[in-house]
Structure formats: C-alpha cells, structure tokens
Structure 1
C-alpha cells in the first residue's frame, strides 16, 4: 500500500507499508529508494509492519527545501513515523544508517535502531574524500551534470576504481543511479566522510542499538559499524558471514538478524 504524505516543509513523501505488527521503518542509503528495500520489507512483513519510503529528491518524493539540510531528512523520517502510529523501530543501511542514528540521538520517537555498515569515517588510518567534495558535487548538479555528480560520488566517496566506473556506465543500472544524483548531497551531509566520526554524535543514544557489517565488506565500512557498537552505550555488534555492502540484494541474509533484534 502506497501513501503520499507531507513533511514539515511541504515536501511530498511516497511511503509503502506491508505486513502486520509493530512498525519497522527501513531507510536506504545513497542511490537507493523504496524499491531497493522492498525485498527486505517482504521478508519482514510476516512479523512486522514494514515501512519503506523514498527519501526526498528520489523516486516519487520531491523536495521543497531551498537548501540541503540534514534537519529536513529528520523531519521526513519523523513524518513517516507519525504516519504509522507515532512510534517505530528503524533499520538503516549506509547513509540511511547515519540518518537512523541521528534520529535516535535527536530523540525522535524511535524504540530500537539497527544499522548496517553506516557510511561514517571511523578509522584515521584509512583514506578519506577531500573536504571540498560536497561543494564540487553540488556544483555539478547545479550545472545539470547528474552523470558527473554520480561519477564523482562513486569514485571519490565510495572508492570505485576507474575501470569499474567504465563498466558501471555501460550497465543497465546506470540510469537508475544517475536519477538519484540530485539526492547525493544529503548522503554526504549525513555521513560527512571527510571527517572522523565524533563520538559525541552517538554517545547520547539511549535506546537498544544493533550495528552490523559483512565480513566481505571494505575496512572503511566495517570500522564504522564497530565504532557504533563501541560508542553507543550497550550497543550490540554482529558480523554477517559472506556478506558485503550489497546485502539489500540478499534480504534473506538480513531478515533473521533483524527479526531477532526487533522481536
């Protein structure tokens, strides 16, 4: 079932719900929309009311904001939670994990939060994007170069090698990625990958928290998940064998972990 609801600034959000039980909001990361978490929603539906939505500037959601602000994305998540009853558990993937953790830290009505490979930088020994990556990306978008913005994000933020980028440009999935480019500044603002994760961003979270990563993922992402587990008081850490950052494509691998945690 799809609903269209208004966020605080008038932005329209497309929201899907499936299943029965306590509401569990699923938040995707960069280059994701509600379709990319739909498989996980189906797996969770027998036990939960699984809720997925298009974050602003992607899919069927628009963006009425004059500028990119994390606060707007928090308002959106708050509107989604209000739509499904006023309280919810939240699962976030990648930059969606950063949003979920910020929601918990800011006191949104979230009862439990689980995150998979948040896109923070938590290891000072690993390379980081340049500080001006956000300015360069927004400049490309302002000039209408969505493909350039997509390449910049994939290459400098995610670290996709040049030869792999060539293959991605030739794939059938490339138009889907380029379509999401206008929302990439939100992902950067949520993750701030050019700076080390400040502990105070997470240390005030006071709800049950689970951090997870796959044992085949990059050191950058595994370090971020471990940082969440060590910084959030009482947080749990789980490592999924054989998995990497693309785990949303294999929702059956995630479902048992989330079912047990969210109960």
Structure 2
C-alpha cells in the first residue's frame, strides 16, 4: 500500500473540506446501517465457504476411492534405487560384498570410483591398500606399478603437497569423487562393463594456496570380474565429461572448504 492509500486521499474529481470536529471528509454523517449489514452478510458468506472447503478437503483426504489423489501419486524416477539392499560390509573402509547381479556390478563400480578418486590415492601405502581391495588379484600388482608412475613426488608437489602426498601444516587437501550415475554396457555371467559418470573435487584449501579446490566432470569405465565372491576391477580407464554449463555459485573461502571436508562424510553407493 502506498502512502497515499494510507492517508485516505480522495479519488480524482472529488473535493472534500476538512471541518473542525466534524467528519474528516466534511460531509453529512454517513449511514452505516446498510453497510454494516452488507459486511455481516459478506463475512458470514466467506465463513460458510471456508467451512465447506475444509470439509471437502478432509473428505477427499480420507476417501480411499478419490481418483484425483490416486492420479497425483508420485511415480518412481529413472534414477531411483533399484537394488535389493545396500552392502553392509567393508574391507579397508571400502564397501564390499556386492550382489552377483547387474545392479551389484553397478553399485561396486560406483563405490570403487569413490575410492580411486580419494585423497588416499596420493599416498603410497594407502594407495596400495585400495588397489589390493578393489582390483582382481591378477592385476593388482601391475595396477600398483602404473599408479606409482602417475603419482610421483613431482606430481604431488605440483598440487602443493609434500613429496609423500600429505598436505602441509595449515592446509587441507581435497580429493573427492561423487558418482552421478552408472550404466552397464555389457553384462555376462561373471563379467560386467560399467561406466560411472562422476563429479570430482581436487585442490589444496588454505589461505595462501596457489592450487584452490576446483571441480571437474569425467566418466570412468570399469571392466569387472566376479572374483572370490565379489566384483573386482580387471581394468579401468577415464575420459572427460559430460560436463554441464558452469553455474553462478560464489566460490567458498578456504576455511569453508576445509570445514566441509572435515565435517561432511561420504556415502556408500548402491543401485
């Protein structure tokens, strides 16, 4: 409401004179009887309509035969979980014991993508433990050698880490992978090829960091083999994208990023 509305200014074309002690509009005393009656009728009518509307709504909510309510029921989405149950066991902090099914293979691939993109991959001892857990025994050793050639002391230093892959004092190293979706492209009795679309965070959070935390989008393709009662990675590869258009989100401070990494834990993925 504008100031003019609050002060009761007269409508255009009308002239009213304010007289001391009289009607502020300067006219004869206003007849209020008819107006009050009309107002009362209006109020009663509104109340009756409200009561009727509430009664109708309650009747609709309680009626099992309400077709409108049935039609409005939510339908399952394409990304809804479809597995029998999530895994409840871990080996070295990594989920294990996946179902011997296509869904189990997708769940294993999603969880293994998280492990491959974790900060623990930058340290030799924890990296070897991860690979021993998620790789097939036939390819664990060769995978360790390949990763040693990738995660070199020089590479760690280029990210602002120490040569052994740890963060300097006063800094928090961030390396996280979040699966967005999975797709099985080939499934056999004891083999499966699964693609995992991921979003990743990588960088060093700190006041004077020259490598701030950034995000990226990539897809990991894993060839899985059913080995010793669980899905294991036989080989894997990675490619960029698909990447969405960047949004307008304001970048958080280094302190906010450090707290987020420390306070928010990861998930166990099951499809």
* TM class, shorter-length: under 0.3
The structure that is helix-richer by fraction is: 1
Bigger relative contact order (CA 8 A; separation at least 6): 1
The structure that is strand-richer by fraction is: 2
Rg larger for: 2
- For normalisation by structure 2, the TM-score amounts to 0.19
